[in-house]
Amino acid sequence: MPGTSLTQPTTVRTVTTLADGRQLIYYDSGATAPRRTVDERPLDPRAPGSEVRLDPATGDWVTIAAHRQSRIYQPPAEECPLCPSRGGRLSEIPAEDYQVAVFENRFPSLAGPPGTSAPAAEGLWTSGPGAGRCEVVCFTADHEASFADLTPERARLVLDAWTDRTAELSALPGVRQVYCFENRGAEIGVTLAHPHGQIYALPFTTPRTARMAARAAEHRAATGRNLFDDLLAAERSAGLSAERSPELSAEGGRVVLAGDHWTAFVPFAARWPYEVHLYPHRRVPDLTALDERQRSEFPVLYLELLRRFDRLFGGGRTPYISAWHQAPAGQRDELALHLELFTIRRTADKLKYLAGVESGMDAFVNDVTPEDAARRLREVAA
């Protein structure tokens, strides 16, 4: 579907196919699409196999994807598979240049048409094919850049790509949840240094989302109100109180920055040393439901957050995970779209490794108070 327009009139989507049958989509601002779309590599047909298994003790789904052991691991820049194809070197992206590109992962955790085979139970053991889809989102052709280096216009183009993929993937039969995220930094475990993120179309609801849904249902039953509306209102109110009365900052003051349509704050019970949640003021279930005012403001606030993270420890690029939480199928009324951004760095020279109580029992211990983290993130504003 070359030239299919999205909600932003200047965004052009060009769809093509890689040599092994995987889909590649270019997103461009303006009417000119990349000229080269033919993948000339002699790739073998894909034959990934993964499985999902249900933990009988917790009810959590676990994906078993042994084929990923052979995926590309930290190649030198001149062999990066996410850079454009130039100078006779062919990569995952055939074009000589691009703005934003999305393609099916060559080493996916989940692959295959969702909904074709339901999980089967054998006594305590419930398992099924690892059906779903995993995509890679390349934010820029510049290998040395980072998301924080993008212009607001280019960040908006990435938002358009996330939105388009959320709409298409969530419509696939059997997909329960669409998860867009970015891991940055070798400390996080990133295997490719090129600025990129990923999108998972999952055949199940993730454990963290399931817990959120349960809490939202309890809050609705107890108060008659939406949990996330109340949470955002409380954080915004505490932030305003702290501005008026600095002596109250120990009780609130966790708001990091706010616009007309979004607010970013450190959560009351933050798990990570520096963790920020970004919520739209008008509650929506997923990216597809954002209005134009929210879409226009998001890039400016998000880029500022990322740049503050980079200034936290005296410069350099702070490793982080940036995770979009979207409502799964059938739970769009109570859950709220929001972005959770956090780093595993706790000081300039120390990382936050998960301790035994955290890895073994999922009970976090934070070395930085949320109020101090919020104060520090306000201090490093440009």
Sign (positive/negative) of CA torsion 331, 131, 52, 126? positive
Name the phi and psi angles at 240, rounded to 5.
Answer: -65, -40
Residue 33: count of CB within 10 angstroms of its CB = 18
Amino acid at 135: E
CB 148 within 8 A of CB 306: yes
Task: Note if 67 is an active site residue.
Answer: no
Euclidean distance between CA atoms 115 and 379, whole angstroms: 49
Residue 273, C-beta contacts closer than 8 angstroms, at least 6 positions apart? 343, 344, 345, 346, 352, 366, 367, 368, 373
Measure CA of the first residue to CA of the last residue in the chain; give whole Å.
42
Which of 196, 261, 277, 338 is catalytic? The answer is 196
Residue 83, C-beta contacts closer than 8 angstroms, at least 6 positions apart? 77, 91, 93, 141, 143, 194
CA dihedral 143, 147, 152, 153 (to 10 degrees): 40
**Residues with a known catalytic role:** 196
